[in-house]
Structure 1
């Protein structure tokens, strides 16, 4: 597979990853990243300027996705802590209500 064909497949994967992340389908995004990784790893160091430019764009998209993933993780952590507090409060109420 030549560099232009490879970069097009990598680009398609990247756009699919970006879409999955945008709608919070992190598991799907992870699967796509796993599928895309061998293609990226197979790219040689010497690439035409057009391919290098697209790889830079892919790196920028990946950085934005990583930032979104970190924010989603923080948000989920906050929600988890709130759920745990609510569960403890409900358990405490249940114990007190039994007396």
Structure 2
């Protein structure tokens, strides 16, 4: 159990790094590897294990904020790209009149 929790913490650090680099594919792969480890945790934990779990929870909260911010940026960029496409399309239609 201790090895699983240590591995989950290592994976959480790797996830934090992947998200900070906006490497969403790597982040997804890390989450897929980490989730089963977290699902095997027992309710009763040692104080040391509880501290690791709390660390993972704090890191997850920060990762969630970074992910939301990244999603908002991507959404904004997507909207801007669509607007540019519409503008170019209108320019071409107007030029053909």
TM-score, L = length of structure 2: 0.96
TM-score, L = length of structure 1: 0.94
**Distance (Å, rounded) in 2 between the aligned partners of 1:6 and 1:71:** 30
Q: Unaligned stretches of 5+ in structure 2?
A: none
Pairwise CA RMSD: 0.8
Q: Unaligned stretches of 5+ in structure 1?
A: none
* Structure-2 residue corresponding to 1:90: 88
Deviation of 1:28 after TM superposition, in Å, equals 1.0
SS at match of 2:65: helix
Aligned positions of 1:1-99 closer than 5 A: 3-99=1-97
**Distance (Å, rounded) in 2 between the aligned partners of 1:49 and 1:19:** 27
SS at match of 1:14: helix
